Structure 1
Amino acid sequence: MARSGDSAHHAAMTADLTRRHILGLAALQSAAALGLTRIGLTPAAAAQRADHFPAVVVGSGYGAAVAALRLGEAGIRTLVVEMGRLWDTPGPDGRVHCSMTAPDQRSMWFKTRTEAPLSTFLWLDVINKDITPYPGVLDRVRFPGMSVYVGRGVGGGSLVNGGIAVTPSRSYFQQMLPQVAADPMYDTYFPLANRMLGANTVPSAWFEATEWYTYARVARDQAARAGLKTVFMPNVYDFDYMRREADGTATKSALAQEVIYGNNFGKRSLDKTYLAAALGTGQVTLHTLSRARALRRAPDGSYVLTVERVDTTGTVVSTDEITCGSLFLGAGSLGTTELLLRARETGALPELSEEVGRGWGGNGNVMLGRANHVWHPTGARQSTIPVMAIDDWSNTANPVFAEIAPLPAGLETWVSLYLAITRNPERATFTYDAAKDAAVLDWTRAQSAPSVAAAKALFDRVNYANATIYRYDLFGDTRAIADDFCYHPLGGCVLGRATDPYGRVTGYDGLYVTDGSLIPGSIGVNPFVTITALAERTMARVLAEDRVGAR
């Protein structure tokens, strides 16, 4: 049963919502209660063709959610196709999501065992657990030289990330995306994205006093001894709610070891912001457990999307063809790129650019841990929401932005953990494997070497200044720095190469990309604010200039 603090939290959030948000949230809650996989407010749509929509959006992550809302606001009847489930129904324990320390089938996408980024502690296999295959909220997609973490469900990556809402430095943004005018981005679209996403910053006085961020203060002090600066990072987690968690007046979420498998409270994920508002327009319908498998163009110029509907065992229960006048791909760097590659290589869309599949990078992600002295405990109680980073990005010789990450084990570990974002110039290419009917990434471990070297150069300084060492027991072997997974997949359909400067796919009018595949491999910070802002820019231009949904 929810405590009074939970009710206050929901009341405070509701007070800020428009009528549209309220209608959309109600639609999501009703669908969850009834176990529906087709969600919307539009009875009128039932009288129209169920297999044709003026616009279809593939995916429900950041770029897709922006597209859905702006299409709905424009009065364009739109279908959103999401391969994951709606996460709004409590399990037997009364909670929608499971915690990091007690994972169950809700944790991973059709896995028999969890695959957390930290796989061992003191080289003991005590972190990952055997689970029953189920359409869980987090997926780890494995390629030969790199694994990619992605969210599965209504809201995509917003369900499983740490909520870090950082706007990139203007100079690096201009370097990576020179075809995008910086003034409108920094004057209009970044502020709009942050406002819509609900970004806020931890109150500094509370941060300094609370036991829940001891780990961040310890890491900050050690960085300072090495002459490095730290910065607070905005976040979409509601810090007023977190303070009530700490006071014991609200049910704990960030303070109950919840994050990579979803947060039950506190986080303003997309299902509570953009997607709720989109459904509230009455023009948007959402189909869950529906995976877009292929696309082609019909003789009349409309797009035909082949969609497989699955049940909770992963069994395909039907295969449908949906047509649309305009198609917006927001399935993420992996999903969007695979759809387009398959279409090009099978001849369904033969005029797609050779640039499709190129320009991929993991935003220079590597993870590492440091061993602190016993007189520098990091705290048995740790908030899972990161709020501080070491910012050495202005170091032209070795730019690094390193999030100070939690290790919420529920006991004292004396570990300082970091996710480092580095400026790695290496890029990879997706190719289509016809035998597997899948996209394959050719990233090699050697291409991670620049990221490892950059992180090591920075943290060698920290270790030297504090007389500390790396932890070698966290990643299943004896590595100090894990370089074989990433949280920030970027590229594959790079803006201005595979598309025009506004995400219009080269060679095909009415076909658009709105997600992280547009960003050429690196943006220097957590990318979701950039993805959201670019999608807002795209939708403003497309809706002003194109005949969206006209076919």
Structure 2
Amino acid sequence: MSQMLNRRRFLQASAAAAASVGVSAIRTTAAGVDEYVEAIVIGSGFGGAVASLRLGQAGIETIVLERGRRWQITDTGDTFCTTENPDGRAAWLSPTTILPPPVPEIPIDVFTGVLDIKRGNGISAYQGAGVGGTSLVYGGITYQPTEELFYKVFPRSIKYSLLDRVYYPRVRSVLKSSPIPDDILQTKYYLASRILQEQAAKAGLNAQKIDIAFDWDIVRQEIAGQKVASIIAGQIYYGTNSGAKNSLDRNYLSMAEATGNVKIRPLHLVTTIGESERGRYRVVCNQINEQGVVLVQKSFVCRYLFLAAGSIGTTELLLRAKTNGTLRRLNNQVGKFWGTNSDSTTLMINASETNPTQGTPGVISIEHLDNPISPVILEPFQAIPFIPQGLIPVLGQGISKPQGYLTYNVSTQSADLFWPNNSADSQKNLQALQYTYQRLNQANGTSLAAPPNYTTTAHPLGGATIGKVCDPHGQVMGYPNLFVVDGSLIPGSTACSNPSLTIAALAEQSMDHFLNRIPWHRKI
């Protein structure tokens, strides 16, 4: 029986690998005839969702090619698996679960699940997969950086004042993000967050509520037992069964489809982008099933192409296009200036009960922006299985230099990721983080279970950055009507904040700029 299961997983994994690079015995559509559409958006995360809505509202025929599946919230509350009982829904085309240690790898069926990982040299980067992208698996945090720190990362060609006045508020209004209400914060599910608030105050550090893209009324229904316990049970990584999370499929993307001009095509894995005739672009993709088996290869031609497959996915498509000569004018900056947002994780040891089944991560933030070494923020995040009482998981973020990079591996037909986790900049950020933790520990009699871990990131950024590969509005240099609208634009960090809000705000700005300049009456 064991041999049969192992063989089954091997065959599933082999099919998944074929899907990822398009090397399967597949048929093509209509004898290789291209399907024309005015605009194509690759990916449906924060950048792609914004682009699709604004294109649809402008009356532009658009298709969204998304590698993952749809995840429709059901009344029975079983759309997603849970961290305690994972199955194939937990991971993208993987024979095991992929949460970081101390959670063990658990065998699962290969399936187009919601959480994906890119294992690199010196770092592993997490990302989402499905209609809604990483919003399916993130903590709903919509965190705006300060202007001072913003310009430690971004060029002055990006106007923070405009983002602050127009685009940050626009994104928050669509996501319906707001701070946690006091009645919910005072419940037992948020004990760890309240403890950290108190500890920050004792250490003389600023702790504040931050905006979260949740429907707090549904969270109240969870607390009352009227909805399946999801947010209050820390069910974030694999999706939220109660429907409390305002993921992009429930706002931007549903609004885009409602225009009648946008069609989302799930389970369409893009393999190739390149130039076509008359200044247009060709996109080739594999339509796959839920086990990752390639069903058919499709080819599209469009006038406007928007890349929103995430830092890893978009950069890989550009590197492949440069290597294979389908976008010959790409410069040598593609793949460079990649970073981790200075993500770190650790466990704080407390003498009292901390309730490890706390609710959503990041409902509060401890800011130490005047840290004498480098600015730091800390956020509690949801406890994962196997963490005992007395420990509080904490996510640290700072400002990391974009010293990582991706290169194209011809033999695997994929991008390889490299991160210098022992660089001088990484050591400086570690020292800054330790300085903040020491201040907390000295004031509260707490300690760390282990040094901060910098080997994983949930916030991969860069690879096609502003000023290097793209102009300030995301247009790829040398390629009119080819745009990057995701985290690939950002040089390694969003300046002591979670990236989703800034990614979406930059995408909103880019779409305004684009739509204000296109010739509306030009015919195909």
TM-score normalized by structure 1? 0.85
C-alpha displacement of 1:215? 0.7
Q: Please give the residue correspondences for 1:124-523 in structure 2 after superposition, counting only pairs within 5 Å.
A: 127-177=104-154, 178-207=156-185, 209-264=186-241, 265-373=243-351, 376-379=352-355, 381-407=357-383, 409=385, 413-447=389-423, 448-472=426-450, 480-523=451-494
CA distance in 2, matches of 1:539, 1:233: 27
CA 1:72–1:426 in 2, change beyond 3 Å: closer, same or farther?
closer
Give yes or no for contact 1:377–1:412 (8 Å, CA) kept in 2.
no
What one-letter code is carried by the residue in structure 1 that aligns with 2:228?
T
What one-letter code is carried by the residue in structure 1 that aligns with 2:442?
Y
- Determine the structure 2 residue equivalent to 1:54: 38
- Determine the structure 1 residue equivalent to 2:85: 102
Give yes or no for contact 1:232–1:387 (8 Å, CA) kept in 2.
yes
How many residue pairs align between the two structures? 486
Give yes or no for contact 2:34–2:299 (8 Å, CA) kept in 1.
no
For 1:260-285, what per-residue CA distance to the aligned partner results, in whole angstroms no more than 9, with x for missing partners?
00011201000000000000000111
Give yes or no for contact 1:360–1:428 (8 Å, CA) kept in 2.
yes
What one-letter code is carried by the residue in structure 2 that aligns with 1:545?
R
2:500 paired with 1:528: yes
C-alpha displacement of 1:289? 0.8
Give yes or no for contact 1:99–1:257 (8 Å, CA) kept in 2.
no
CA distance in 2, matches of 1:90, 1:248: 16
What one-letter code is carried by the residue in structure 1 that aligns with 2:452?
I
C-alpha displacement of 1:81? 0.2
C-alpha displacement of 1:460? 1.9
Q: Which runs of 5+ in 2 are unaligned?
A: 1-32
- Determine the structure 2 residue equivalent to 1:63: 47
Q: Please give the residue correspondences for 1:87-98 in structure 2 after superposition, counting only pairs within 5 Å.
A: 87-88=71-72, 95-98=78-81
Give yes or no for contact 2:356–2:391 (8 Å, CA) kept in 1.
no
DSSP-derived class of the 1:109 partner: coil
Give yes or no for contact 1:164–1:526 (8 Å, CA) kept in 2.
yes
What one-letter code is carried by the residue in structure 2 that aligns with 1:246?
I
What one-letter code is carried by the residue in structure 1 that aligns with 2:57?
E
C-alpha displacement of 1:240? 2.1
DSSP-derived class of the 2:108 partner: coil
What one-letter code is carried by the residue in structure 1 that aligns with 2:490?
I
DSSP-derived class of the 2:422 partner: helix
TM-score normalized by structure 2? 0.89
C-alpha displacement of 1:426? 4.7
C-alpha displacement of 1:111? 1.3
Give yes or no for contact 1:381–1:411 (8 Å, CA) kept in 2.
no
For 1:406-457, what per-residue CA distance to the aligned partner results, in whole angstroms no more than 9, with x for missing partners?
3154986110111100222252121111111111122133134333322222
Give yes or no for contact 1:179–1:496 (8 Å, CA) kept in 2.
no
C-alpha displacement of 1:550? 5.9
CA distance in 2, matches of 1:550, 1:534: 29
- Determine the structure 2 residue equivalent to 1:3: none
- Using the aligned pairs only, state the percent identity: 35
For 1:318-340, what per-residue CA distance to the aligned partner results, in whole angstroms no more than 9, with x for missing partners?
11111101100011111111111
CA distance in 2, matches of 1:444, 1:543: 39
CA 1:89–1:217 in 2, change beyond 3 Å: closer, same or farther?
closer
C-alpha displacement of 1:50? 7.7
What one-letter code is carried by the residue in structure 1 that aligns with 2:464?
C
| Pairwise CA RMSD | 2.0
- Determine the structure 2 residue equivalent to 1:45: none
Q: Which runs of 5+ in 1 are unaligned?
A: 1-48, 121-125, 473-479
CA distance in 2, matches of 1:290, 1:547: 30
Residue of 486, 494, 514 corresponding to 1:542: 514
CA distance in 2, matches of 1:181, 1:361: 22
